[in-house]
């Protein structure tokens, strides 16, 4: 429980979608909690008309009675009816917490709107004050206020409302900032709508839902603080409130420990209802089901059943042979297949291009070979044979042991593939030390040599750098150095040049080709770029919508593809130069890699 002005901040501003109320009501906990809160409000309104015993009716002869017909929950040490006091307590509670909620919402939403919409100095000042407020232990501030104004729970709760404003300020400000420069808001501004109209029409709709969620949380914090203040005695002790009942229960805890039960339950129930309403609303907004967490079965535990069809013959001399590979996401009836039976092979030292549009399943195939399919993805059928070993039958440990030393990987996006928290040298040396058993010094000198080999001008400096301190091209060279550091026999490169500048692309491709020739490793080059294919590949496998279209030598595919899809892919790259037989850069045809290969 948070008793300072700790503010829940994990509410993302989400644009409400239709059916929100329906989704919310479908959540049983949310519905139940809403009913509980409604009941509390109704009780507070009708309690004077219920004919309950006087909540303050002291009757010492009736003290400490057990629950019975006359006193539904028994009586306390002064003979006051506990049930009646609980019921009357709703009034004080709603009044006190309501003051806090109203004040924090009014100030927080208003200042948040202004800070988010106008920015500038107001934003700076308001944000600074909110940060200040958030670092104050709220209770102590309230105690200080009590020093001045005396024990008055309503003034304390009003002050607490001010301390709670960051809960609304931050959410509203964030949501407004997110949409302030959206096109439709711009359009409204250009069309001459006043700021007030724009805020009312376009901005308030965005912040409405997060504000309601925050209101539920803030109310639960306010309730616990109010009861806490009453427990400490900062209130008029003649008022029947849940906190006062706790105070009485605490003072008599050794004699009648049961006294704390009912007020505790009441406070817990209302707080819980508020929290659950907030959660249910958040879930409805994010449109995510409850109970989403099922135990994760570790991948690759489940060896694939051998296919019913007789296993197709794996080529004898292949380093990697994939037969009838199927990759699917999800389980049971919700299973969705993304790769539908792909067969290909790579000989030792061979470079195979895996080509297709985005969504063709080429990357999924590559990840399946690596055993690194994203969460939920798995090989649902087929066989992956690497160096005679059936990968789909291996356990997690054996699979891990193959990575790095036998099958390595170069990713597409250099900047997001280096761990931002560790120095580049660390990221290069750790795999060599654990996988090759090199000493720290040996790993270091090998890492420096690798960095020099991949064309980094100042290896020492890069070794000591963090990823955010190097350029994209350098990061990709570092990733290549990392991939080849443990002498893999097969390198899987997933669009290794796509994210780079054109000039850097050519250099990185040259580097990969040279490294391949030096080490004699096999390469699977996943790409959508026939320029890359022409530059480096021996054979090409063309994929479309999770299926293999054709496999052939690079010359055949580029000059005389047998499938119309391949031709279309080629054409789409040749729009500007129909006369040229294959897609090279305009000024680069003299040094065309194909000619170089010939």
Partner 1 sequence: MTIFLLRRLLSAVVLLVVVSFLARVLLYQGIGDVARNVLGESATEEQVALKNQELGLDQPLIVQYFDWLSNAISGDLGVSFFSSQSVWDTLLIRLPVTLSLVVVVTLLTGVVAFAVGIYAAVRKGWVDRTLQILATLGDALPPYIVALFLVTFFAIQQKIFPATGFIPLTESPAGWARTITLPVIALAIGGVAGVAQQVRSSTLGVLHHDYIRTVRSRGLSERRIILTSVLRNASTNGLTSLAVQVVGILGGAVFIEVLFALPGLGSLAVEAAFRTDLPLIVGVVLALMLIVVTVNLVVDILVAWLNPKVRLS
- List 341, 411, 455, 472, residue binding partner 1 (CB under 8 A): 411
Applying the rule CB under 8 A, the residues between 101 and 140 that interact with partner 1 are: 132, 134-140
Q: Scan residues 281-310 and list those touching partner 1 (CB under 8 A).
A: 291, 293-296
249 binds partner 1 (CB under 8 A): yes
- Tokens at 260, concatenated: 């704390």
Which residues make beta-bridge pairs with 329?
A: 336, 377
- Cβ-contact 74, 66 below 8 angstroms: yes
Residues 471-510 that bind partner 1 (CB under 8 A): 479, 482-483, 486
Rounded CA-CA distance 199/547 in Å is: 51
Residue of 20, 155, 275, 452 that binds partner 1 (CB under 8 A): 275
Nearest to 76 by CA among 265, 234, 245, 217: 245
Instruction: Name the residue nearer to partner 1 (CB basis): 179 or 227.
Output: 227
CB of 435 to partner 1, least distance (A): 5
Write the interaction track for partner 1 spanning residues 364-403; mark x where CB under 8 A is met and - where it is not: ------x-x--x--------------------xx--xxxx
Of 103-111, 223-231, 315-323, 528-536, the window that binds partner 1 (rule: CB under 8 A) is: 223-231
What three-state secondary structure class fits 80? coil
Give the x/- contact pattern for partner 1 in 146-185, rule: CB under 8 A. Answer: xxxx-x----------------------------------
H or E stretch covering 493: strand 490-494
- Tell whether residue 468 is a contact of partner 1 (CB under 8 A): yes
Helix (H, G, I), strand (E, B), or coil: what is residue 258?
Answer: helix
**Residue 477 token pair:** 């060279």
For residue 302, the tally of other CB atoms under 10 A from its CB is: 12
Tracing tokens 């350029």 back to the chain, one arrives at 471
**Least distance (Å) from partner 1 to the CB of residue 396?**
7
**Binding residue for partner 1 (CB under 8 A) from 279, 364, 497, 505?**
279
For 458, list phi and psi in degrees, rounded to 5: -125, 80
Complex with partner 1: residue 138 or 459, whichever CB lies closer: 138
CB of 246 to partner 1, least distance (A): 7
Query: For partner 1, which residue of 228, 341, 455, 472 counts as binding (CB under 8 A)?
Result: 228
Q: Which is nearer to partner 1, 124 or 434 (CB)?
A: 434
Does 39 help bind partner 1 (rule: CB under 8 A)? no
Interface pick for partner 1 out of 43, 178, 212, 430 (rule CB under 8 A): 430
* CA-based nearest residue to 358, from 456, 204, 495, 461: 495
CB atoms within 10 A of CB 367: 20
Of 64 and 545, nearer to partner 1 (C-beta) is 64
**Shortest distance, position 3 Cβ to partner 1, whole Å:** 4
Residue 80 CB, nearest distance to partner 1 (Å)? Answer: 19
Q: Which of 561, 572, 511, 503 is nearest to 536 (CA)?
A: 511
Q: Which is nearer to partner 1, 147 or 181 (CB)?
A: 147
CA 195/CA 206 separation, integer angstroms: 15
Q: Closest CB to partner 1 among 199 and 370?
A: 370
User: Using CB under 8 A, which of 240, 377, 431, 546 touches partner 1?
Assistant: 431
What is the enclosing helix (H) or strand (E) of 354? strand 351-355
195 in helix, strand or coil? Answer: helix
Question: CB of 40: closest distance to partner 1 in angstroms?
Answer: 14
Distances (CA, A) of 359 to 147, 353, 355, 547: 68, 16, 11, 11
- Measured distance between the N- and C-terminal CA atoms of the chain, rounded to whole angstroms: 74
Chain position carrying tokens 């965005």 = 206
């Amino acid at each position: 429980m948070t008793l300072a002005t700790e503010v829940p901040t994990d509410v993302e501003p989400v644009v409400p979608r239709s059916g929100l109320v329906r989704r919310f009501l479908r959540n049983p906990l949310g519905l139940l909690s809403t009913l509980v809160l409604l009941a509390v409000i109704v009780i507070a309104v009708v309690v004077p008309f219920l004919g309950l015993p006087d909540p303050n009716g002291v009757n010492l002869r009736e003290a400490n009675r057990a629950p019975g017909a006359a006193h539904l929950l028994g009586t306390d040490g002064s003979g006051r009816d506990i049930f009646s006091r609980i019921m009357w307590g709703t009034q004080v509670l709603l009044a006190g917490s309501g003051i806090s909620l109203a004040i924090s919402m009014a100030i927080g939403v208003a200042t948040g709107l202004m800070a988010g919409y106008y920015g500038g100095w107001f934003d700076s000042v308001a944000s600074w004050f909110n940060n200040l407020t958030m670092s104050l232990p709220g209770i102590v501030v309230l105690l200080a206020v009590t020093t001045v104004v005396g024990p008055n729970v309503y003034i304390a709760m009003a002050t607490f409302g001010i301390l709670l404003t960051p809960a609304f300020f931050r959410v509203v400000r964030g949501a407004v900032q997110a949409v302030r420069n959206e096109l439709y808001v711009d359009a409204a501004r250009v069309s001459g709508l006043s700021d007030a109209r724009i805020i009312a029409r376009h901005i308030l709709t965005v912040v409405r839902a997060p504000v309601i969620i925050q209101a539920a949380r803030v109310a639960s914090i306010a309730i616990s603080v109010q009861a806490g203040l009453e427990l400490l005695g900062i209130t008029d002790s003649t008022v029947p409130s849940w906190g006062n009942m706790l105070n009485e229960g605490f003072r008599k805890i050794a004699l009648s420990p049961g006294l704390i039960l009912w007020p505790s339950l009441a406070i817990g129930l209302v707080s819980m209802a508020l929290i659950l309403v907030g959660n249910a609303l958040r879930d409805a907004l994010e449109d995510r089901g409850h109970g989403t967490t099922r135990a994760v079965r570790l991948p690759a535990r489940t060896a694939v059943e051998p296919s019913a069809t007789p296993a197709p013959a794996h080529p004898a001399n292949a380093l990697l042979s994939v037969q009838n590979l199927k990759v699917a996401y999800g389980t049971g009836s919700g299973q969705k297949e993304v790769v539908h039976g792909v067969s290909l092979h790579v000989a030792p030292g061979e470079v195979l291009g895996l080509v297709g549009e985005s969504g063709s399943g080429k990357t999924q195939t590559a990840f399946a070979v690596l055993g690194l399919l994203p969460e939920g993805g798995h090989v649902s059928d087929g066989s992956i044979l690497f160096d005679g070993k059936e990968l789909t039958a291996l356990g997690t440990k054996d699979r891990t042991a193959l990575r790095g030393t036998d099958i390595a990987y170069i990713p597409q996006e250099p900047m997001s593939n280096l761990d931002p928290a560790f120095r580049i040298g660390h990221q290069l040396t750790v795999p060599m030390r654990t996988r090759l058993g090199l000493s720290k010094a040996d790993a270091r000198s090998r890492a420096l040599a690798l960095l020099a080999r991949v064309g980094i001008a100042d290896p020492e400096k890069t070794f000591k750098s963090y990823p955010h301190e190097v350029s994209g091209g350098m990061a990709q060279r570092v990733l290549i150095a990392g991939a080849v550091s443990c002498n893999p026999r097969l390198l899987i490169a997933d669009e290794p040049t796509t994210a780079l500048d054109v000039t850097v692309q050519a250099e990185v491709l040259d580097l990969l080709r040279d490294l391949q020739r030096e080490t004699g490793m096999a390469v699977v080059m996943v790409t959508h770029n026939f320029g890359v294919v022409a530059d480096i590949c021996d054979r090409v496998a063309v994929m479309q919508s999770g299926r293999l279209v054709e496999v052939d030598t690079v010359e055949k595919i580029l000059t005389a593809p047998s499938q119309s899809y391949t031709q279309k892919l080629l054409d789409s790259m040749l729009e500007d130069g129909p006369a040229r037989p294959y897609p090279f850069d305009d000024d680069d045809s003299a040094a065309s890699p194909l000619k170089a290969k010939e």
